[in-house]
Amino acid sequence: MKQVHLRLEDNQYKEIAEYAKGAGMTVQDAISTALYVMLSRQKKQKKNRKFTFIDLFAGIGGMRLAFDEAGGECVYSNEWNKFSQQTYMANFGDMPDGDITQVNAADIPDHDILVAGFPCQPFSIAGVSKKNSLGRATGFADKTQGTLFFDVCRILEAKRPKAFMLENVKNLCSHDRGRTFKVIVESLNELDYEIFYKVIDGQSFVPQHRERIIIVGFDRRRYGNYFDFEFDITPKEPKPVIADILEKDVDIKYTLSDKLWTYLQQYAAKHKAAGNGFGFGIAPLDGVSRTLSARYYKDGSEVLIEQPGKNPRKLTPRECARLQGFPDSFVIPVSDTQAYKQFGNSVVVPLMANVAKLVVAKIEQLEE
């Protein structure tokens, strides 16, 4: 890490310090972020973009990286978590809007593609059958009101982009005995979008077993519904393995303490004796790891790296970034704890980029 000494006028320092305090940042982070913003804006001016998109429930921008790579320009982003906002700002030069439920859909810029990794909240369809019995109409607003998926729907209805791409956990399909996913599909169909979806494992692109459902849709009012869409992804070759993402010199602080390592072994033995599969996971250097989760900051137990003559260690934040396919140029401006949460909640970037290019290619084909 390089150090640069700056001279600031008293009034300049005061303004920066006040801004940093309000944003929950240090003065140093505020100045670094300002420089990233300047560089990001210069890069944007040089790029010739072929479509626009918005980035909802943006996290730290994994989906944005994917659609940037596909040739898009992000015209709006939204993310409520302040630490994720900080990371997003440091990398893209844009501060995402906050609470999506308070955003007027009409104020969002027009765009070609809506992108969202929306949270999977419980969907309440209680009362729908009662409304039917009373002869009242029910639609997506009735079914999804009170969930964040409703905000995706109302923006789709208001802005009618050409297409959308949504990402969620694999279990979305089976949540509430399939009723949740049925509501999602019905709601998108009622908005007049032709829907395609598939569960895809990210290990085709990174050394991690990570299954996620990807839902894409195309505007029937523009393109009709007599077409198909294939998730014809192109796996990375050669297939990546854990050894590919490891750093050479790792701080001893990432090595598990004797107390934690003893606890994890005892915990695993207890569950094995009970016939359960719970326990820590040593990632094979020539294979793939378990799924990285947002709880990784607690003990790192799901993905541990073996060390000769020592206790296993956790992945470093940079290794977690690589495990999700983020480039090494991606800035990590937050604490290790926040970084683990952010990468655990993120997407496999090269997989999303692969599907993003397929969505863009399909739009171009439909518009020929």
How many alpha carbons lie under 13 Å from residue 176 in its C-beta half-sphere? Answer: 13
Q: What are 140-186's pLDDT values in tens digits?
A: 555 655 588 889 999 999 999 999 999 988 888 777 777 888 888 99
Query: Does the pLDDT at position 116 exceed 90?
Result: yes
Q: What are 50-82's pLDDT values in tens digits?
A: 899 999 999 999 999 999 999 999 999 999 999
Element (H, E) at 179: helix 179-190
The pLDDT confidence band at residue 134, using thresholds 50, 70 and 90, is: very low
pLDDT at 323: 98
Element (H, E) at 355: helix 349-366
Q: Which of 261, 175, 174, 188 is nearest to 219 (CA)?
A: 188
Element (H, E) at 193: strand 193-201
pLDDT at 171: 80
pLDDT at 131: 41
Catalytic residues: 120
Contact 344, 294 (CB under 8 A): yes
Query: Does the pLDDT at position 204 exceed 80?
Result: yes
SS3 171: helix
Q: What are 225-266's pLDDT values in tens digits?
A: 889 999 999 999 999 999 999 999 999 999 999 999 999 999
Contact 360, 51 (CB under 8 A): yes
Q: Which of 144-148, 327-331, 360-364 has the lowest mean pLDDT?
A: 144-148
pLDDT at 126: 38
Query: Does the pLDDT at position 42 exceed 60?
Result: no
Q: Which of 195, 193, 133 is nearest to 162 (CA)?
A: 193
pTM as predicted = 0.82
As a whole number of angstroms, the distance between CA 359 and CA 336 comes to 34
Q: What are 10-25's pLDDT values in tens digits?
A: 776 777 777 777 666 6
Per the listing, tokens 């940042």 go with 25
Per the listing, tokens 């027009």 go with 110
pLDDT at 322: 98
As a whole number of angstroms, the distance between CA 280 and CA 301 comes to 5
pLDDT at 140: 52
How many alpha carbons lie under 13 Å from residue 160 in its C-beta half-sphere? Answer: 8
Q: What is the DSSP string of 273-289?
A: HTT---S--BPPTTS-B
Beta bridge partners of 289: 208
What is the gyration radius of the CA atoms in the chain, in angstroms? 22
